[in-house]
Structure 1
Amino acid sequence: MTAHTGTGTAEALNDQLAKLDLSDRLAFVTSLGGRSVFTTSLGIEDQVITAAIAAGRLPIVVATLETGRLFPETLALIDETEAHFGLAIERYHPLQDDIDAYAAQYGLNGFYDSVEARHACCAARKLKPLQRALEGASFWITGLRRGQSGNRADTPFAEFDAERGLIKINPLADWDIERIRAFAAENAVPVNPLHARGYPSIGCEPCTRAIKPGEPERAGRWWWENDEKRECGLHVPDAALPSLESSSL
């Protein structure tokens, strides 16, 4: 798939998905053929997508990036989700050599010291495992929503990811958090108990705090950095997969 063809396909698909509900959006994508992979962080929006995949028995691979620094509550929810929905969640771990190289260069918790060091940690623990999870995929399904942050305010339903050569599908792009919570409650979807403790967006434990009243949903992620820099690279356009030695992350 060329970038031009991929972009045109994504734009056409975006228009089609806008007319459908969540279940039909997912089913339509699978009807196009190719390998579809949904990467879940086990947050409430991702749990809603998992529920829709399970309800429709859709041929979508469900995968998670088990970074090695997740909250115990998140790890427990992986097993609970598999049991609840009767599906398997593929786990992708960072390579020990990458973790060792990071620690040698920055220290185990060096991500607090600079944006460069934090991006390098995300590269080792998230971006490289993601690359393995998406091998051979035509469609990458995510839980991105427009209401999560200013960086995501224009999230489309479908977009071409030129770096990875696939189409990214964001089936909840137009859902707000109230709709997400209502769906989860009405359908008995298991959710991370951290949500009830002030964590609307949950990532690695050392890099996530509860938010304060009035703060945006993702304010608790990498809270020590400036807002415009607080992404890990998974969903930033043209974000190159960095080496641990790179200083341009």
Structure 2
Amino acid sequence: MTTPDITLYTGVSKNGVKASIVLEELGIPYKVKHISFKDKEQHEPWYLKINPGGKIPAITDGDFHVFESAAIGIYLCENYDPEGKLLPKDPKLKSQVIQWVMFEASGLGPAQAQAIYFAAYSQEKVPQAIERFVNLTKEYYYVLNNALEGKEYLVGNKFTLADSMCYPWVRSHFIIGIQSIDEYTNLTSWIARIDARPATQKGLNVPIPDKIKEFRENPEKLQEHIKYVQSFIK
């Protein structure tokens, strides 16, 4: 296994912490470059050479670049997870993990990201868009809840890349107006289980201290954050 030389380029977002959670869970040393959305640093020419899409996260490993959080997670596991901690070596279990990674990348993540934009950050409220994306997010929660029936984690009854990709979205449910997910009993237990993982908690606090708990307990703080984001988001 080669020695990692990783810099994580990230900002305050669900996608960003997916990458830092994987790095922390695998115990990979890394440096952090905080990309400022307010200053539109993600569109700077130097950063576009790392991530042509102008989004976060991205990593450099020496002179090799990886962008998109799912691709980053798979790259890190394939290069720095010799024991198959997050991406099993068994071909069928590995396939199952990657299926859930794709479920998040193509379904849950985009749906909830749109729900967050229309329900929270957009200054023009479009009820039809809010309803569509919030309901779609709930459908993905339902799928996850069913998949967790009788299990502690999504694949092989152990924490894997599948869980690390989906978890940051589900724990933020209240931002889109879903104040309680108690009806998804398997999902709530799963969140609590992952909340208790020290490495995951470290990953959540990159590049700045995590504020989800504060926002959930103090709606005024959440509204302050929303107004701050609205000051520079399109």
Shared fold (TM-score, shorter chain, > 0.5): no
In the superposition, the TM-score normalised over structure 2's length comes to: 0.31
